[in-house]
Amino acid sequence: MSDDHSNEWYYNTRTGQVEPYSGAKSADRLGPYNSPEEAARALEKVEERNEAWDNDPKWNDD
């Protein structure tokens, strides 16, 4: 694994800000993402994935 984190971006769930690898502790972040724009959509992506999983018949055992 590479030590180059220059293209890693994170969404900070505490502050609502996008930050580089050298930002806050990982417990408060979602990522890594390939760009600041992708990181800014982190919560949207989480919602999209949750919706997909909620409606996936392979995982719906109700």
* Spatial separation of the C-alpha atoms in residues 29 and 1, rounded to whole Å: 20
Answer whether 0.75 is exceeded by the pTM.
yes
pLDDT of res. 5: 86
| C-alpha pair distances (Å), 15 with each of 42, 51, 54 | 13, 24, 28
From first to last of its 62 residues, what are the pLDDT tens digits of the chain? Answer: 568 888 899 999 999 999 999 987 889 999 999 999 999 999 999 999 999 988 888 876 65
Give Dmax over CA atoms of the chain in angstroms: 44
